[in-house]
């Protein structure tokens, strides 16, 4: 029972950090358009992210069973930790560095989908790694990330900006998952 509580807490902090980033990018792209198009862009951007998260969750939970892929996933999460540290904790992210071509609705959706692919993958990989085969916790993590992304992104972004310790806890949770994935695979390989 203690392990489930630890995993549950870890998943919450992972989702707080990673789901917020995705929603912020959707909002930033949508902000370049007039109000009528903005709602459609947010709807389609979040819809694409939800579909990608579901697909990646189904695939990732099975892929993490393969020896060697956890090592790769752990290394990818270490890189994500570094990027989040630079962007969130050190505050070096420049929110204006996202290139948005506001000439067409389809280009905006394409921009969001490219961001969704990477951000959904890192979120699902982190949550699936943290869940350690607990299917209900994996489903909880997926559901929470979608809810946070859709409804609470601005609040999360403000919390992380105001209370740096939330960002540190999220990074620590992702780091633990990365190290656990790497250790688990190295133990099987060696």
Q: Which residue in 41, 14, 15 sits closest to 28, CA to CA?
A: 41
Domain boundaries, given as residue ranges, for the chain? 18-189
Q: What is the pLDDT along the chain (190 residues), one digit of tens a residue?
A: 788 898 888 888 888 777 766 776 777 677 777 778 888 887 888 888 888 888 888 888 777 778 888 888 888 888 878 877 776 666 655 454 555 555 677 777 777 777 777 677 778 888 888 888 888 888 898 888 888 877 765 676 667 667 778 778 777 888 888 898 889 889 888 7
Q: CB–CB of 105/37 below 8 Å?
A: yes
- The span from the first CA to the last CA of the chain, in angstroms, equals 30
Distance CA 133, CA 152 (A): 27
Q: What is the pLDDT of residue 96?
A: 47
**pTM listed for this prediction:** 0.68
Longest dimension (CA), the chain: 57
- Alpha helices, DSSP H, located in the chain: 2-30, 35-63, 69-84, 105-131, 135-151, 153-162, 164-189
- CA dist 100 → 19, 28, 48, 104, 110 (Å): 20, 9, 18, 10, 10
Q: What is the pLDDT of residue 122?
A: 77
Q: What is the pLDDT of residue 120?
A: 77
Q: Which residue in 134, 180, 123, 184 sits closest to 156, CA to CA?
A: 123
């Amino acid at each position: 029972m203690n392990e489930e509580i630890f995993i549950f807490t870890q998943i919450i902090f992972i989702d707080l950090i990673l789901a917020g980033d995705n929603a912020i990018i959707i909002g930033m792209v949508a902000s370049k358009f007039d109000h009528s198009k903005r709602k459609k862009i947010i709807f389609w951007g979040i819809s694409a992210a939800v579909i990608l998260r579901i697909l990646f969750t189904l695939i990732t939970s099975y892929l993490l069973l393969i020896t060697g892929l956890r090592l790769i996933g752990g290394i990818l999460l270490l890189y994500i930790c570094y990027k989040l540290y630079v962007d969130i904790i050190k505050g070096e992210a420049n929110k204006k560095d996202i290139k948005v071509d506001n000439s067409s609705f389809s280009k905006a959706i394409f921009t969001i989908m490219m961001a969704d692919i990477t951000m959904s993958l890192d979120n699902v990989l982190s949550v699936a790694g943290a869940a350690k085969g607990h299917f209900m916790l994996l489903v909880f993590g997926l559901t929470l990330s979608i809810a946070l992304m859709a409804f609470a992104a601005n609040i999360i972004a403000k919390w992380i900006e105001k209370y740096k310790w939330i960002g540190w806890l999220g990074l620590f949770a992702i780091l633990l998952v990365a190290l656990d994935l790497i250790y688990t695979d190295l133990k099987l390989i060696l």
